[in-house]
């Protein structure tokens, strides 16, 4: 059981229909906001029970975080395991492990594409703020889906849903048991697998002429899997070795070395904007 809080998170969860929603809790207020009215209308249209609660009760459900007078009790998102990304004949769609057909259909809703798509693979990204930010950028910019490493990766918590402004409910979210195997399978099917590296490593790769500059990623004729690593240590060595391309965001300014790099959420947005 999860308690989703916040107006956009609640409305997205109701509209996407990917979760089982048990109750909609609404605080007693003198006048409902326009967004709250939309949420309550969507809830009634979906035959969901709306229960009045005090703000203190909603505060407890949201663990004291801002809830805009709306909280949902609901199930988790369907957890879909994938082995790789398919080839052109397969419509570039994910290759599923053994899954319940209904859960797969729900999780992949929105993954249909007509042109070579872009997916994001997050390897051991643990910060919920960055996770939510990446999901929001991915959905806004038209990314076909986001793949998470099954281990050592932030799950889609209520905080992530809130930070993503509800994008987590719409962008397809998949899980890979083995990141390296997932990348290799996708490469076999014609995907360009782009790994991101930090500033110091990028400088060494640039000298060896092994770094692809970000601006060169724009002109693409093949589907792209963009791989980003953890906030602290970046991508693991074996993950980078499995990729076809290494890239990094260079600063146009001369910055102090104490400012090491962009956080992974900002880096993802910049790279996706370049790719899409």
Give start and end residues of each alpha helix (H) in the chain: 7-16, 34-45, 55-61, 101-107, 128-141, 158-163, 179-188, 199-207, 237-241, 264-275
- Candidates 148, 143, 151; CA nearest to 160 is 148
Contact yes or no for 220/180 (Cβ under 8 A): no
Task: Give CA–CA dist 220/154, Å, rounded.
Answer: 30
What 8-state DSSP symbol labels residue 102?
H
The burial class, CB within 10 Å (0-12 / 13-18 / 19+), for 99 is: middle
pLDDT of residue 108: 66
The position carrying tokens 């060169």 is 216
Which tokens belong to 110? Answer: 């929105």
Which tokens belong to 219? Answer: 């002109």
Task: Give the predicted TM-score (pTM) of the model.
Answer: 0.91
Contact yes or no for 116/222 (Cβ under 8 A): yes
pLDDT per residue rounded down to tens, the chain (276 residues): 899 999 999 999 999 999 999 999 998 776 677 788 899 899 999 999 999 999 999 999 999 999 999 999 999 999 899 999 999 998 999 998 866 665 666 556 656 667 899 999 999 999 999 999 999 999 999 999 999 999 999 999 999 999 999 999 999 999 999 999 999 999 999 999 999 988 777 778 887 888 888 888 877 789 999 999 987 788 999 999 999 999 988 877 777 767 767 889 999 999 999 999
Task: Give CA–CA dist 136/168, Å, rounded.
Answer: 7
pLDDT of residue 104: 62
- Candidates 153, 157, 162; CA nearest to 120 is 153
Task: Give CA–CA dist 148/273, Å, rounded.
Answer: 20
Strands ordered across the beta sheet of 2-5: 2-5, 70-74, 21-27, 50-53
Which tokens belong to 172? Answer: 């397809």
Contact yes or no for 197/235 (Cβ under 8 A): yes
DSSP per position, 191-243:
-EEEEE--HHHHHHHHHTT--EEGGGGSS-SS-EEEEE-BTTTBS-HHHHHT-
Residues 6+ apart with CB under 8 A from 63: none
pLDDT digits (tens, 9 = 90+) for 134-192: 999 999 999 999 999 999 999 999 999 999 999 999 999 999 999 999 999 999 999 99
pLDDT of residue 218: 79
Task: Give CA–CA dist 85/276, Å, rounded.
Answer: 18
Residues 6+ apart with CB under 8 A from 51: 23, 24, 25, 26
Domains in the chain, CATH or no CATH each: 2-74 (3.30.1330.30), 80-275 (3.40.1280.10)
């Amino acid at each position: 059981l999860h308690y989703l809080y916040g107006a956009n998170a609640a409305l997205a969860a109701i509209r996407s229909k990917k979760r089982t929603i048990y109750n909609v809790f609404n605080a007693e207020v003198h006048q409902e906001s326009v967004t709250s009215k939309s949420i309550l209308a969507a809830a009634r249209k979906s035959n969901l029970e709306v229960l009045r609660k005090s703000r203190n009760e909603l505060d407890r459900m949201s663990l004291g975080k801002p809830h805009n007078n709306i909280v949902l009790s609901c199930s988790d998102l369907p957890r879909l395991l994938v082995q790789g990304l398919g080839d052109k004949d397969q419509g570039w769609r994910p290759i599923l492990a053994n899954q319940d057909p209904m859960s797969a259909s729900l999780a992949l809703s929105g993954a249909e594409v007509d042109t070579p798509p872009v997916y994001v693979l997050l390897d051991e990204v643990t910060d919920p703020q960055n996770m939510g930010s990446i999901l929001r950028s991915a959905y806004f910019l038209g990314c076909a889906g986001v793949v998470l490493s099954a281990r050592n990766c932030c799950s889609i918590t209520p905080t992530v849903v809130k930070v993503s402004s509800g994008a987590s409910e719409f962008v397809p979210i998949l899980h890979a048991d083995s990141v390296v195997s997932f990348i290799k399978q996708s490469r076999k099917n014609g995907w360009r697998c782009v790994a991101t590296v930090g500033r110091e490593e990028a400088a060494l790769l640039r000298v060896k002429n092994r770094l692809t500059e970000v601006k060169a990623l724009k002109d693409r004729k093949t589907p792209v899997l963009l791989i980003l690593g953890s906030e602290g240590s970046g991508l693991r060595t074996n993950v980078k070795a499995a990729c076809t391309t290494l890239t990094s965001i260079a600063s146009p300014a001369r910055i102090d070395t104490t400012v090491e790099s962009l956080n992974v959420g900002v880096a993802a947005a910049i790279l996706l904007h370049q790719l899409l």
